[in-house]
Structure 1
Amino acid sequence: IVAATTGAGADDDDDDGGDGAGAAEEAESTEDDAAAEEGGEEDADESEDATAKTEIGKRERAKLREMQKLKKQKIQEILDSQNASIDADMNKKGKGRLKYLLQQTEIFAHFAKGSQAAEKKNRGKGRHASKVTEEEEDEEYLKEEDALAAGGTRLLIQPSCINGKMRDYQLAGLNWLIRLYENGINGILADEMGLGKTLQTISLLGYLHEFRGITGPHMVVAPKSTLGNWMKEIQRFCPVLRAVKFLGNPEERNHIRENLLAPGKFDVCVTSFEMAIKEKTALRRFSWRYIIIDEAHRIKNENSLLSKTMRLFSTNYRLLITGTPLQNNLHELWSLLNFLLPEIFSSAETFDEWFQISGENDQHEVVQQLHKVLRPFLLRRLKSDVEKGLPPKKETILKVGMSEMQKQYYRALLQKDLEVINAGGERKRLLNIAMQLRKCCNHPYLFQGAEPGPPYTTGDHLIENAGKMVLLDKLLPKLKARDSRVLIFSQMTRLLDILEDYLMYRGYQYCRIDGNTGGDDRDASIEAFNKPGSEKFIFLLSTRAGGLGINLATADIVVLYDSDW
């Protein structure tokens, strides 16, 4: 076990951490000699530091090549063993094959257990903790101690290039990622939303830069709406990394390719799923150290263009980031396993043949066993387990009566009196009765012809004709009086239009993001809301656009105007 050093030397005056012999020689020299040689020594030290970093990088690359060679040998052993097993018993049942497969993947699985030992010991026994017998727990800890004794890196303090203070569970996550790296294993970081998956990922790249002399190139592929956040977080937490956002129109992308996306000019390329597909030719020119996929559930369909494209890129390591890692669909599980262990899970057809399970109970059992195959390559923590200091989330459901106008429309919907509520509009728009009832409960002005006019004027009628608006109008002044800041979510963008009219009518300052908001406008709105001393009181968000890659920690109240069912 090694700790990251602070660079302190044997005595306080030796800032560069010189050894005892150097300190003794300096003590024997005169003050004049020391002053005369000081400048030359500093230059020599800088040159030696640069040379040392270069040597570290060379050794690390050589080690990486050797590790990949050993990994290929192990994989070939697995494949040879698999083929022999299949030839020996073509009629073996799916569950038997799965048991065999679990034994084979243990060749890789044991590498990850060492780093998980410390994590499990530090983890509280929350309500989500799994129950094991005392004997099983003892056996597990013994295995973990053996794995830890095998060596490897475990940081006790965060890398010095990482700004801010990482929480204990985030440092444990970094150690887990380092463990995978040291053993040439791909992984899935699947912590619950809000636990800092982005920071842990950036800290891994910072660790490789600081301790291993590896500056990339790395590629982060994420939803377009989150690219701005990725760039800001890299600059905020690890500014030594040179990050390039590969996005824009053809002319802008051509400029980036020629001037920024060149070997040696960048460490991290941050791009979107769409750009990865469009620019696959340019991106395939690189041999990536890490390919990191955010919201990785997007590649669960192996036949999608995105999934196929991501498998084309040459890389030493793959890291998936997702909040929903384990699916209950056999084929989607195969897609994840194929991306993590492509050498073993290479054929979807063979996989389907192996696990043709007819009964529902058998299918469920196979899915659970495949989850076990994935688990050594996956790290998932919940807020309830790691953030013991957080106060519990308070959720209050307020049931509100409908206005007279809403009751009229609701009754007409149930009686299918389409002309009353559609004012001559298209009949097909009202075929989904459940959706129409939801619209009625949110605000009757969502129906064509319901709002009085023309001319259309904003007034108290906007509030009085919807029960939820009446309550919201009472709630917001009280929240503003106590200096709270509010996020209001809705499933319907047209309802956000109504809420926007209301906020302007009441004079509240606000920001808004929905599916039609461009990337630059999105980033500008988030920055305007979060900046110190911001006058923005409310942030309007559509649930889909606002639930992905947004950091609005300066707000303390969330209002779900309508829940997603």
Structure 2
Amino acid sequence: MDKMRLLNVLMQLRKCCNHPYLFDGAEPGPPYTTDSHLVVNSGKMVVLDKLLPKMKQQGSRILIFSQMTRVLDILEDYCMWKNYGYCRLDGQTPHEERQISINAYNEPNSPKFIFMLSTRAGGLGINLATADVVILYDSDWNPQVDLQAMVRVFRFITENTVEERIVERAEMKLRLDSIVIQQGRLVDPGANKLAKDEMLSIIRHGATHVFASKESEITDDDIDAILERGERKTMEIKEKMANLGESSLRNFTVDTENSSVYKFEGEDYREKKKVITNWIEPPKRERKANYAVDAYFREALRVSEPKAPKKEEQGKIDEAEALTEEELEEKENLLQQGFTIWNKRDFNQFIKANEKWGRDDIENIAREVEGKTPEEVMEYSAVFWERCNELQDIEKIMAQIERGEARIQRRISIKKALDSKIGRYKAPFHQLRISYGTNKGKNYTEEEDRFLICMLHKLGFDKESVYDELRQCIRNSPQFRFDWFLKSRTAMELQRRCNTLITLIERENMELERERRPRRRNAARRMPQPRNGSQKRPQMAVDAGKS
């Protein structure tokens, strides 16, 4: 049980290395947007965003491998945002779509720049010989899986994390294979399995570094400097492996420096019975005997007493002089000019209302600020936007408001896209078609997608509860009374699918708009021009002399 618990922690740490959005609730939304936050919140995505333009400029074509299909979902959103042509293949892709994607990628002058696939999706075999660059987004315990592509390879490894130990163990496996198995001798298959202590050592690796770092370590280096540093570290690992013989590799452990899990940085903590302050012990599930609700609310509602001032501050208070009559009069005049009836709670409500409705929607903002009339809110808003730069944390406040306004603009653009799409059909619930291209997906049918888009447009995209209502509509619809898959989807899952469909619709609308522009220009050229430079005047319906 302890080993299974550690394996679960290890998987969570691997997700941390890949992208924070692998954890539910980490991505900002709803509504969910596809923009730069996909890149800036992950060190690997930062490097990928630097590497891909360089490879595209060189004329290279890319394969991206990942162990996790949810990473492929994030990469799909990234490719749509960057307008990179791509194909996707994982273990659940049907054989027909699989072959279509492979042929589309391999055809001459293919617009597909990237082929992303899960590492274990080989199965029937894949021929992607037209690619010359492979990116291993994450690494697995089995090094043989990574040998299926023998071209230029970039492996993404998050420094000072469990990924370093996973790659080190994989390299030692390969070295052991070359000097033992290839010579006709076999090793005990159980010798390479992770023991509990070794797994705990892997999890602890880098914990001190993580807790010591206070700021983000996403690099701003040029991609050439990053690649040079990576090549240098790769050579160091190869030299280290070359110096290990068969006897060392047969009984290797990942943490070769410590003979015991209780030894850390040269100290034996079993004897000293000390606690490593920088190490968080993996959690254990405890069954509570009872739930002290009264005690919980007493603690939650308890107001902490104000702290006593420090000696230096107390000394300044004791030495302070009273205000003169002129200063008191000036203070009173200044207070009358300010908003003395506005407190911190009113200010926070005002900021949140600006984030929710946008800075120009004073009517709705006034409704959010309790106890204030629209005139008071209007006056306060005018002064706020005139003098907001004097606030100490204005950058944080402005970022909060601008995020909200960006969400509002996103809702407006989505509504326009849906209006344009639905308006092209007389009976959209029966006629609507979605341009999937080669990336239709594997779970939802076109009938289900059509219903989702039409109902989303009918219910109104700008409502917060729209996906809960959409879920209820699906359950009440006789059309899907036997469709267990669609009826079992949560509101969050429906929202993700609708976001994907909206992206496809927006792309289709853009392509249609591009096709219309040349037609309009050609139509303008074909219009007959008046002779002799004179333009024929239209006849008047009523004579000028008659009333």
User: Does TM, normalized by the shorter one, top 0.5?
Assistant: no
Q: Which has the larger radius of gyration?
A: 2
Task: Report the TM-score when normalising by structure 1.
Answer: 0.29
Higher strand share: 1
